[in-house]
Structure 1
Amino acid sequence: MAEALGLFALGLLVLALGGDSAVKGVSGLAQRLGMRPFAAGLLLLAFGTSIPELAVNLRAMWQQQPHLALGNAVGSNVVNLGLTLGLAALAAPLVLRARVLVPMLVLLAVATFALMAFGLDGYVGRVEGAVLLLGFLAVAAFVLRHGAREDAEVQAEVVAFASTRTGLLQNLLRLAVAAVALYFGARWVVGGGLELGQRLGLTPLMVGLLPVAVGTALPEIAAAVAAARRGQGDMVAGHVIGSSLFNLLAIVGGMALAQPLALPASFVKFELPAVLVLVLLVYPLLRSGRRITQQEGGILCLAFLAWAVLELLLFL
């Protein structure tokens, strides 16, 4: 038990280091190849933090553990919207100035509904996976187009986020380090997580939904809390919503395109509706005062805890 827990924790640490190195390497190379810092920063802000989840899911699929991968993809969204956003708001009220956040949240609701509809027959096939992937490309184009209309202050924050050295060798080295770290980190997280699940009586789906989803989100939670204290509410919300879109559209879509997925019955009846409930909780906060207060952050955290408890009570 202790060995599995240690392996799992080490894997999470190595994954975090690999994800950070990958984001910096991709940003540096993209800007060297001519992409504007704002465009690079916007895409990395929205989707870059899902790199550890992607590595874990690829490893899980390689080990024929699709339920762990699905649990991680959808569980990460519940963690993003409930725990990450909630803890960041508890640390400091989140002031939201970026106009693109509300339509991105609406797109997240649409993506969740689409996956629920695709899964009504218990499967997500290759054609449906391709539709999800095309949806991700459309969302990326939408983010780039509408992000360019943001106020100068918001754009300056995004450019600062993407700021990194653009030397070719340095960024190639970053990507090489990232590849090694993500490979071993994902291997240890999946192996340690499955062994922990066996010891605790958790199914692979539950392992993905709870310990793996929460564990891979810990670096993002720490970064979100730090950003909230610096007054960068747009960065926090952009990470949360963008990462959730990437999980549903790119990760689940890519998995289904590679291999048709059998969805657990609880996905359509409980896990995906839980994501929708959290979207509905966050939507009025973004629409009304453009601010998420500490009290509202506490409500989001309680919603996450209620979901986690219900998962354990209903499906153990």
Structure 2
Amino acid sequence: MLITEVTIYISAGLVMLFLGGEGLIRGSASLSLRIGISPLVVGLTVVAFGTSSPELLVSLKAAIMGNSTIALGNVIGSNIANIALILGIAALIRPLEVHANVIRREIPIMIVSTVLLIIFLSNGILGFFEGLIFVILLVAYTVINIILSFKENKEIEVEFEEGLKSKLNIPVSILLIVFGLALLFFGADLFLKGAVALAKIFKVSDAVIGLSVVAVGTSLPELFTSIVAALRKQSDISIGNVVGSNIFNILSILGISAMIVPIKSEEMSYLDFGVMLAAALILLPLSYTGFRISRWEGGLLIFGYVAYLLIIF
């Protein structure tokens, strides 16, 4: 692929990702208010799962084609980028308020999922049985979140009373969500093609491509969605999107991929697993400081991500 083609793919992908993030945020925030589900839960489910669809597509393709290195590297790299890069940038734009439920429930679930992945891969392979466990846990997590959200319905109505006055109707909200997801999906695919072609020109290994270029490329929907959410003061969706995506990446993407083809971790290093776990763990103390992630903390996260990239390259 020529440099000109690469530039077109990347530029078109970025435009589609921004428009997709805008549509997804408008539609999902409005839908959540209309049916009585908190924006946090929408961020943890609809938005998180939707913006993780590029990771799912890439990892499934890679696993079926026998390249489990890219499949696993994609998830590990995406989970690191989601916290260190995406939340870092979103916090720089606007300090992020952290919902108490995220600290009490969602972040611990993300940490447990990460630890489980490391344990399952201690023998170097993620097989069908481990994949099945992940998928079962994902279904349970999603159902519990939705049930708990409806129980909090009264509090949600009071908290978002102002938003309820101006929300879009359900058909328009759903249309915006579908439109946003479609743009995110195709935009990420275009960007990914250009980015991988560019990486191949510089002869970068599959492990590094998976951990960096592919991971960042497939995490762009989360990036643009979180940026738009931060600009619109929807920090619940911004943080819920990232935490939910990380849980989804492990439980669903690796779960489904492992049930189809065993995932091997032979080219992954202890550093990669360690940084992924550290990124998940550091979110707890950062969130506890005033129940918000400040700009300087966002800068700290970005600094850590850049340092990690320099090491693996």
Q: TM-score, normalised by structure 2?
A: 0.79
> How do residues 27-38 of structure 1 correspond to structure 2 at under 5 angstroms?
36=35, 38=37
Deviation at 1:110, TM superposition (A): 0.7
Distance in 2 (CA, whole Å) between partners of 1:205 and 1:25 is 36
1:278 corresponding residue in structure 2: 279
Deviation at 1:232, TM superposition (A): 2.7
1:13-49 superposed Cα distances (whole Å, 9 cap, x missing partner): 5567678878999999x99xxx945178352144332
Structure 1 residue runs without a partner (length 5+)? none
Work out the percentage of aligned pairs sharing the same amino acid: 32
Report if aligned partners of 1:22, 1:178 keep a CA contact under 8 Å in 2. yes
- Using the TM superposition, give the Cα deviation of residue 263 of structure 1 relative to its aligned residue in structure 2, in angstroms: 1.4
The alpha carbon displacement at 1:311 in A equals 1.4
> What SS does structure 2 have at the residue aligned with 1:38?
coil
Secondary structure of 1:202's aligned partner: coil
Q: Contact 1:85–1:297 (CA<8 Å) still a contact in 2?
A: yes
CA contact (8 A) 2:20 2:179 kept: no
Q: In structure 2, what is the equivalent of residue 69 of structure 1?
A: 71
Whether 1:243 and 2:245 are equivalent positions in the alignment is: yes
Structure 1 93/25 Cα, relative in aligned 2: closer, same or farther at 3 Å?
Answer: closer
TM-aligned CA deviation for residue 280 of structure 1? 2.0
Q: CA deviation at 1:238?
A: 0.6
Contact 1:75–1:208 (CA under 8 A) maintained in structure 2: yes
Q: CA deviation at 1:241?
A: 0.3
| Aligned pairs for 1:20-99 within 5 A | 36=35, 38=37, 41=42, 43-99=45-101
Cα distance in structure 2, aligned partners of 1:308 and 1:244: 19
C-alpha displacement of 1:226: 3.5
In the alignment, structure 1 residue 156 sits paired with structure 2 residue 160: yes
Question: Which residue of 238, 254, 273 corresponds with 2:256?
Answer: 254
Q: Are 1:10 and 1:185, in contact at CA under 8 Å, matched by a contact in 2?
A: yes
Mind listing any 5+ residue stretches in structure 2 that lack a counterpart? none
Q: 1:155 to 1:266 in 2, by over 3 A?
A: farther
Q: Mean alpha-carbon deviation: is it higher for 132-141 or for 17-26?
A: 17-26
Give the CA RMSD over aligned residues. 3.6
CA contact (8 A) 1:8 1:188 kept: yes
Tell me the distance in 1 between the aligned counterparts of 2:228 and 2:126.
38
1:193-204 equivalences in 2 (<5 Å): 193-204=195-206
Distance in 1 of aligned mates of 2:245 and 2:211: 16
Pick from 219, 232, 242: which aligns with 2:234?
A: 232
Q: In the comparison of the two structures, how many residue pairs are matched?
A: 302
Q: Distance in 1 between matches of 2:149 and 2:264?
A: 36
